[in-house]
A and B are shown apart, each in its own frame.
Chain A
Amino acid sequence: MDVKESNTGSQTVIRIFYALVTLAVGCGLAFFVYGNVTNEDAKFPFKLGLDLAGGSHLIYEADVSGIAPEDVPELMNVLRDVIERRINVFGVSEPIVRVESSSFVSSERAERLVVELPGVTDVAEAVAEIGKTPLLEFRLLVSADSDGNPTYADTGLTGRYLESAQLQFVGQSGQGGLSNEPIVAIAFNDEGAKLFEEITRENVGETLAIFLDGALISAPRINEAIMGGEAVISGNFEPDEARDLAENLNFGALPVPISLVSTQTIDATLGVGVIEQSYIAGIIGFALIASFLILWYRLPGFVAGVALLIYVLVNLAVFMIVPVTLTAAGLAGFVLSLGMAVDANVLVFERMKEEYRAGRKSRAAADEGFRRAWSAIRDGNITGLISAVILFWFGTAMIKGFALVLGIGIIVSVLSAILITRTLLRALPDVASESSGFWSFLFGCGLGKR
């Protein structure tokens, strides 16, 4: 764009129009954020991490040693669904259950199940409830070892193929009609039924043992191939025992054994103070940074302050919409990002100052400032993004929040500098550096001679 064109009246109107649109978008964002913060049942509330909202964090390790590697992912998904169903029973709002594999850098492969229970601080009760999920396995009796202890072989048929379970009473022949024995009748799904049929057909005459939570319940002999996918668990149950088992099996059975390796509980009161203090620190940090910008860069500094305010709003809106799980570290990271976000502006303004002092008019100086500062902004921020991405990979759930805040902050800050600051600066009058007076003072910056 050449100088002559940029001086025409219509161009100026367009520039001011763009600036007003930018400001209007800013106001819209402010309205959106304010509405979501103040409204109790907002559509996009902030999502608070466990350290702020309080709750429990459990890590289970799944024993997948006997499973073919290619089956592991599906099995872990089954496991997740079962545990999720189990947790939904005791009414936790928005629980998170997710599968996590140990990273490629660790020496041992491990499959884990991470369970987050917001608001639950009685971890013992939660663990007990999850622990009620039965582990059901069908194993074939192979032979007795030298000591006469029987050994069993996995058949691959486990609780994962279970469709339903039902409590039944059967009369035992020879003991009179009144003596009813409680049993649990189970039905496999299609896949399980096929597997069950295969196992029973190939092993007629063998013993198929049923294990519940690792303990032998019963060891019936296979008389013939069983079709239709129905089986019975009978093991001298008390009626109550059998009823509980049937109930628990209906929520699903564990496909693999799991063990608890890590627990964390945080009281909800901890978060309230953290949020309030981060809020205050954020406001004070913003005020300090904005004052500094205005003192040093004067009018462009004020523009950068406005851009920073919009930066805050855009970030908050993104946190709400994505949503980003906010943690104590994440909030600190956001306040920190205020200081970093102005960097792109500072780079441009310093360049602009050089151009302005060298004799360009303010608008041309600004354009040149943006053009020449771009490579530094790009290279500096890409390296910042690299560490944010690696942080995200490294991090536990709490750190992932921080990394996400940092990464979003970097992207938004670059956009805010090249879109918002530039649009607003262009709407300002074009001032020649040799002129003196009010406007010239506003565009001069820093200490020392102009």
Chain B
Amino acid sequence: MFIITHRKLFLAIGAFIVIVSAIITLTFGLKLGIDFTGGSLTEVGYSTLPEKALIENALLALELGHFDVRQSHGELGDSYIITGKTLSVEEQQTLETALATLSDDAKVIRNTSVGPVIGEELKDKAIWALGAVLIMIILYVALAFIGVGYPVSSWVYGSMTVLVLFHDILVPLALMSLLGYFLGYEVDVLFVTALLTILGYSVNDTIVIFDRVREKLKEFRIEKRTKVKVPGGLDREVVTYTLTRSFAEIVGIAVRDTMARSINTSLTVLLALLALYLFGSVVTQTFIIILIAGVVAGAYSSIFIASPLLVWYADWKSKKENPA
């Protein structure tokens, strides 16, 4: 299987993607929205949009702190999205009255005001949720693969799965940083939802390939049971395994056999996402873009990174144990 034979190349590409994504994310940074920072957001639609400067001046006159005004093409046509500090109900009313005086047909489509404590708490929760998913996945995969301790321990499968997940998460993070820096996209609760969904989906892809490795390992191994005398008089049975093919070959077969499934499943998911992007609501468009990035990254990583990584680790381990 070419993916395994050229594993160094694919691992290098994977490492490159991870490093570039990390640099992009760190350089541009994520722009946190009011869900996390606290603050207010008001979307107001007009049948004919007034000048942006007009809105900004009107807001300045209210003396409610600084507001950012961004033009948006929303569900109901053109609108302005106005973000600023957390507003009380009275302040919100003052704002809406000011907006209404600019034009007769001003319509407040939505407004949100989030207290800073709520935002802070959600941020903590988001980080915990991401961490919890990763830990639960390591545990589950390690448990599910407990029968295949040779040549690498079942914990390695779990850890590799999670290592690969970092790749799948970094790509959408980098994309979001770029969108935030250049187009002003803000990280909201939906973004975290997208990340958690990607985690659940992408791990599925990797697991199917590892599942085949598990099966093939059982097929291509010879079991040898020997009785060993232990001090104290009791006999203990020791089972040793020898593989009839190299680990790299076995992983290669597993990747080959699952290739069609990996591609087909990613394809059907992408078809659904594509339909949502092209015909679905504007409200969830950013969410869909992030999911597409995650699904593509996940498909790449489970085929081209997870299995090569497994073989690379087994090589490294055997070299360490038998330095000959």
> How far is it, in angstroms, between the C-alpha of A292 and the C-alpha of B283 when the chains are bound?
28
> How far is it, in angstroms, between the C-alpha of A328 and the C-alpha of B282 when the chains are bound?
10
Residues of B within 8 A of A284 (CB): 275, 278-279
Whether B268 contacts A267 by the Cβ 8 Å rule is no
Nearest residue in B to A337 (C-beta to C-beta)? B272
A416: min CB distance to chain B, Å: 14
Whether B271 contacts A379 by the Cβ 8 Å rule is no
> How far is it, in angstroms, between the C-alpha of A270 and the C-alpha of B110 when the chains are bound?
9
Which one, B111, B140, B261, contacts A350 given CB within 8 A? B261
A to B CB contacts below 8 Å, 19 in the list:
A123-B111, A127-B89, A260-B88, A278-B280, A281-B281, A328-B281, A332-B284, A336-B269, A339-B268, A339-B271, A347-B261, A350-B261, A350-B264, A380-B205, A381-B204, A382-B140, A387-B199, A390-B129, A391-B193
A201: min CB distance to chain B, Å: 42
Residues of A within 8 A of B267 (CB): 292
> How far is it, in angstroms, between the C-alpha of A424 and the C-alpha of B270 when the chains are bound?
27
Residues of A within 8 A of B90 (CB): 124
Residues of B within 8 A of A350 (CB): 258, 260-261, 264
Residues of A within 8 A of B8 (CB): none
Given contacts A123-B92, A332-B287, A396-B189, 10 further A-B contacts (CB under 8 A): A105-B128, A273-B76, A281-B279, A282-B275, A288-B275, A328-B281, A337-B272, A347-B261, A376-B207, A376-B212
Whether A332 contacts B288 by the Cβ 8 Å rule is yes
- Check: A261 CB closer than 8 A to any chain B CB: yes
A35: min CB distance to chain B, Å: 26
Among listed B130-138, B177-185, B227-235, interface-contacting one: B130-138
Whether A390 contacts B268 by the Cβ 8 Å rule is no
Whether B269 contacts A383 by the Cβ 8 Å rule is no
Residues of A within 8 A of B121 (CB): 102-103, 106, 110
Nearest residue in A to B90 (C-beta to C-beta)? A124
- Check: A200 CB closer than 8 A to any chain B CB: no
Which one, A277, A354, A379, contacts B141 given CB within 8 A? A379
Among listed B21-29, B112-120, B168-176, interface-contacting one: B112-120
Mostly, the A contact residues are: helix
- Check: A398 CB closer than 8 A to any chain B CB: yes
Say whether, besides A329-B193, A376-B207, A395-B193, A386 and B137 are in contact (CB < 8 Å): yes
B261: min CB distance to chain A, Å: 4
Which one, A328, A342, A388, A406, contacts B265 given CB within 8 A? A342
Whether B270 contacts A394 by the Cβ 8 Å rule is no
Which one, A61, A261, A384, contacts B204 given CB within 8 A? A384
A-B residue pairs, 10 tightest by C-beta: A387-B200, A339-B272, A285-B275, A339-B269, A261-B115, A380-B204, A394-B129, A281-B280, A376-B211, A281-B279
Whether B125 contacts A383 by the Cβ 8 Å rule is no
Interface size of A as a range: 35 or more
List CB contacts (< 8 Å) of B92-125 with chain A: 92-93, 107-115, 117-118, 120-122, 124-125
Whether A390 contacts B275 by the Cβ 8 Å rule is no
- Check: A59 CB closer than 8 A to any chain B CB: yes
Residues of B within 8 A of A278 (CB): 276, 280-281
> How far is it, in angstroms, between the C-alpha of A354 and the C-alpha of B75 when the chains are bound?
48
- Check: A310 CB closer than 8 A to any chain B CB: no
> How far is it, in angstroms, between the C-alpha of A247 and the C-alpha of B273 when the chains are bound?
55
> How far is it, in angstroms, between the C-alpha of A59 and the C-alpha of B299 when the chains are bound?
40
Whether A338 contacts B272 by the Cβ 8 Å rule is yes
Whether B268 contacts A292 by the Cβ 8 Å rule is yes
- Check: A120 CB closer than 8 A to any chain B CB: no
- Check: A280 CB closer than 8 A to any chain B CB: yes
> How far is it, in angstroms, between the C-alpha of A381 and the C-alpha of B265 when the chains are bound?
13
